Amino acid sequence: MGGLEERLLYQDEQLKITVRSADGAPAVTLIGEIDATNSSALALVLASCRQDAYITVDTGALTFIDVSGLRVLVMPTLPPSQRWIRLHNVTPYQRRLLRMMGWYYEPRAHHLPL
């Protein structure tokens, strides 16, 4: 992943996943819908992008996400300090779902907002 070149990592009828390198950390963009039919693929793709401490995942272009997709992105079974996905462009709808599930984590100022 050199420069700002964007690469397609995954695509199905509902979801498109692309990645680019930003400041040395992978920046993944999710476009479309995530549900039980593609959340396992999302988990595999994100794990394959992990190089160092974390990756940034832009969820602003998601039109739908269910609990299975939220679990992949939030990793609720891990303590916040061990979560290696940092969410970016979280929509009000997504933030509301995260709060309803009790998975909303307010990061410190030096982290990207969840």
Question: Per residue in 79-102, is it b (16+ CB within 10 Å) or e — as a string?
Answer: eeeebebbbebbeeebeebbeeee
CA–CA distance from 50 to each of 21, 32, 36 (Å)?
A: 11, 22, 22
Residues in the chain, total: 114
Sorted by where each begins, the domain ranges of the chain are 7-101
Report how far residue 96's alpha carbon sits from residue 90's, in angstroms, rounded to the nearest whole number. 10
Reduce the DSSP state of residue 67 to 3 states and report it. Answer: helix
Q: What is the pLDDT of residues 5-40, one digit of tens each?
A: 889 999 999 999 999 976 677 899 999 999 999 999
Q: pTM (2 decimals)? A: 0.86
Model pLDDT for residues 33-87, shown as the tens digit of each residue: 999 999 999 999 999 998 877 899 999 999 999 999 999 999 999 988 889 999 9
Topology annotation, domain 7-101: Transcription Regulator spoIIAA (3.30.750)
